[in-house]
Amino acid sequence: MVPYKHYGLLAIVGLMWMAGCSSPYVENNKIEEIAPVVFWSIDKGTEGKLKISTLVPPLIQEKKRLLSKEVDLLKQGGQEFNLIYYRELKQGQLRMLLINEELAKKGGIEKLINTILVDPDISMRVYLLIVRGDFDEYIKNQLTKQENQDYFLYRMLKHYEEHNQGEMSIVNIHKFMKKVYSPFKDPILPVFHSDKNNFNYVGTALFQNDKEVMVIQDVDDNIFQLLDNDHFLKVLAIPKFSISLGRIRSNVRMKLSRDYSSLSLHVGLKGRIEEYQGESNIQSEELLQHLIHEIEVYLEEQTSDLLKRMQRLKVDPLEVGTHSLKAFSKEITDEQWMKHWENMKINVDYDIKVHPLINGAVDVFQNK
């Protein structure tokens, strides 16, 4: 048999050579000497430069500070921060990329995101956010008020991403890039508003050709979550009828006509009435049906209005175009689809089934 001790010797010599003569490892990840970055915030700088900033150190018990730098290229940021800060910044724990809305409107964010995507240290699960206002101002102000605010923001996004809870559109790099490169799909990103004291969710930004073209918010954003993103909403408040529907699940059916000239959109909603502050007596079956019918009409109007705006801007974030794909025939191109989409007639039909507000308010067996 083979004398194993020789292999042991060979391995030891090999290891000594590796450690001593020419180390193949050039990265030093000693935890006491590095600062893993949790987020990059990218803003428009002066003279076409990018202003990028991050909070260091992210999780160690040490006084935090905000680093920010104006650079031409994104990667330069990390490099220059190392020169002004005593820890080496490492990108392996990057969790969020915040992009200022003005930058997103100007276009060119795909290149920024691609830069993050090709870095082998960074996971594809980095969350992308559009920020309206000054995020640096907010995080600087929070430094004294709340520790680890950057980490909590990440936890918030992670919380709403899991189980598609229908509160926010949460998008990571992979989801964004998949939609960028696929035909019939237009990418979306969440928009947050930020000022000195607040950082709050606004709505969903729709992208076309690498530019933010539209932001949908409030009821429109709720409808968007129901139609595509999550198919679920915890609360749909409609102040116009003084009513809140809760725990709504949606069932969306789209039917394209053969020549792609019209689309019929059927949305079935199932939920509960969770609040009613109006005057109508909804304990009566008839009046309740009347109210629901009014809500249906209202949602139908809102939805067709939303879809019309999307058509005008030539965006298709609902991926209606994928319904033109068939199992046994050739697909149409993205351009052809856009031509059809612009001029498409859309019929929206809502069908709401609700569990009435009964607890304590009505005699359950009144009809018996």
Partner 1 sequence: MKSLSLYNRTSTLGGIYFLFLVNRMQMHYFILIMPVYLVHSYMVWAIVVMGLLSQLNLMMMSKWFTSSYAAKGYQGFLQLFGKRAVQIFAILGFLIILLKISIVTLGYVEMLHSFIFPSMDKKWLILMILLISLFVASHGMENTLRFVVIAFLCGAWIVVLFIPFFFQADASYRDLYPLIPTEWSGQSWQGLWFIWSAFSGPVYLAFMVPWLSSNKKISKYLVIGNMLSIMEYILLFVASVLFYGSHYLRKIDFPIGYMGSYIQTSGLERIDYILISFHMFNYVFDISILLLCFYGAGRIFMRKMKERSTRIGLLSSWFVILISIILMDQWLWQTVPGQKMLLNLQIWIGACIYLLIPTILFTAVKRKESM
Q: Which residues bind partner 1 (CB under 8 A)?
A: 1-2, 7, 10-11, 14, 18, 24-27, 120-121, 123-125, 164, 174-175, 177-178, 181-183, 185, 319, 322-323, 325-331
At 123 the three-state DSSP class reads coil
- CA–CA separation, 196 and 137 (whole Å): 6
Neighbours of 124 (CB within 10 A): 13
Q: Which is nearer to partner 1, 152 or 181 (CB)?
A: 181
Q: Which is nearer to partner 1, 125 or 240 (CB)?
A: 125
- CA–CA separation, 269 and 354 (whole Å): 8
Least Å from the CB of residue 29 to partner 1: 11
Structure tokens at 28: 């030093």
Beta strands 65-71; 50-56: pairing state: antiparallel
Least Å from the CB of residue 95 to partner 1: 10
Backbone angles phi, psi at 59, to 5 degrees: -130, 0
With residue 266 as reference, give the H or E element that holds it.
strand 262-276
Least Å from the CB of residue 135 to partner 1: 25
Least Å from the CB of residue 65 to partner 1: 27
Least Å from the CB of residue 276 to partner 1: 32
- Fill in the DSSP letter of residue 195: -
Q: Which is nearer to partner 1, 280 or 322 (CB)?
A: 322
Least Å from the CB of residue 158 to partner 1: 10
Q: Which is nearer to partner 1, 16 or 325 (CB)?
A: 325
Q: Which is nearer to partner 1, 51 or 340 (CB)?
A: 340
Nearest CA among 141, 28, 42 for reference residue 89? 28
- CA–CA separation, 309 and 320 (whole Å): 15
Structure tokens at 236: 């749909």
Q: Which is nearer to partner 1, 69 or 175 (CB)?
A: 175
- Fill in the DSSP letter of residue 280: S
Q: Which is nearer to partner 1, 1 or 31 (CB)?
A: 1
Residues in the chain: 368
Put the strands of the sheet holding 232-238 in their side by side order: 232-238, 243-256, 262-276, 345-355
Which value, in Å, is the radius of gyration of the alpha carbons in the chain? 26
Q: Which is nearer to partner 1, 91 or 242 (CB)?
A: 91
Structure tokens at 274: 């969770």
Nearest CA among 347, 345, 184, 185 for reference residue 259? 345
Least Å from the CB of residue 217 to partner 1: 22
Q: Which is nearer to partner 1, 30 or 330 (CB)?
A: 330
Structure tokens at 131: 């920020």
Structure tokens at 317: 């974030």
Least Å from the CB of residue 230 to partner 1: 8
Least Å from the CB of residue 168 to partner 1: 14
Question: Is 38:55 a contact under the CB 8 Å cutoff?
Answer: yes
